[in-house]
Structure 1
Amino acid sequence: MGSILIDQLSKTYANRRKVPRGEEDAILCKGDRISVLLDIDLDIRDGEMVCFLGPSGCGKSTLLRIIAGFEAPSEGHVNINGQPVTGPSADHIFVFQHSGLFPWMTVSENVGLGLRHLKSHRDRQEQVQEFIDMVELDGFEQHYPRQLSGGMQRRAELARALAVNPDIMIMDEPFSGLDFLTHMKMREEVVNMHAFIRKTILLVTHNIDDALIMGDRIVILGNCPTRVVMDRTLDFPRPRDFEKSPDLSRLRSELFLLLGVNYAV
């Protein structure tokens, strides 16, 4: 199960910038509170893929870290499966923007980290191979991360996350830094993976097309202090095609305008 309830969540930080001489009238001084997230309310159902969009610096990654238990909210709370989040859990796997693979371990060893509880070496290796095959990395089991392309490293991270069998996968810009073709391939793989495993997936992206192609639902966050400015379920059939779906294409244009870009489809 991977249902998430976010209730009246707010986050503030203390400003640590020293005010130089001559800036006594600055708006923010050292020690002042900076509001990042303000009164966020979301109810995410088990098995949903929710894509978060918003301007840079609005707090998308902060929200994910709070859900994952890496940070505590200043106000409000997050419940997962009816239980309050008090810290990180193996049931909630975070896939970071940059490679989190251990460089001294092979692909097989990295993926196997989540299966250490299996006492049988044969069972463990069979399951490791199953997840490696799932992300199409068969043949690269004994390769180290430095020997893989960026896209292959991301696939290995997905395999490692899936091996833990988490209730929730939290992905912070998982396609950043990838070339265009690898980006498209990874996007397709995540959509196919979600259709197969039906885990709850939270994904931060700056790419509107990614959100519309992948998500069951999109949540758009505004500028700081950040509130939810749109929360919309995407009931378009898959595979999604902007050219074949006028409604999807119109929503795409609406999102660009909402995010401050006058983009003609």
Structure 2
Amino acid sequence: MISLDRNLSETWTVVNAPASQSRNNEDRVEFLNFQLQKVVDKIPTGDFTSLEPTAAPPPWLQSGLKRFCRLRVHHIKILTQISTYMSIRDLISNRASANTLVRAAAKSVDLHLEMINAGEINPLLLPTAIKLLLTSLSIMMFAVSDCPDEYASLCVQPLQSAVHILSDAQRYVEDPDLNICGTLHVLEKVIDAIQRSYFQRSAPFISRNGDTGNSVDDRENFFEGNVFEELPTPDSEFFSMIGSMTATGILHGDNLFG
């Protein structure tokens, strides 16, 4: 954990560097990712060594801690990637970088599921784990809003999994900084919008007289604008706020869904 804290501290040095130094950021981030991988390689495959041999932690705590370490490493990788751009919107405009980021955000949900399915989790780690999850959800929801054709099919399953994670978490996670209920409300609207839009897109477009219409034109009209524009929440202002977020701002995703 100390090594992860050190790596994260160096990442923030890059994030907060003056604009005149920004051209060196990509090289610096590449080096930080290299350092981070060295930390990952040192995470034991077996149990962590106890500082006090006579007070070894139970197996469920060992298992949860190892998976939490991997989750935090993954989160730092996401932040370092975002730090090379002025905002998430700028990053999403670069297709190669956007694909990497969105897939990383989707993978973080899988890591959460692995941690949960492995058994009990230290209650002290749960609020932080949920906040890391909200970061990934913010990224996926903005990507789907900005490029529904590109990312909806990739993100819908992770978003559905996140609903189950958060539904369970709200029963035993008590943190005034977390608005799990509000997040679930937003997530359910987003998933519903994705499913309805893609259901209508995949359905044949039949006119009243039985002739097949111009499906290409109809689909383009259906997807014109924001896929979530009909929803009262989230709205265009909501996604604009996500898009303008930097790596520093993304850490406060726990308050984004209020």
Range of TM-score over shorter length: under 0.3
TM-score by length of 1: 0.26
TM-score by length of 2: 0.27
Larger strand fraction of residues: 1
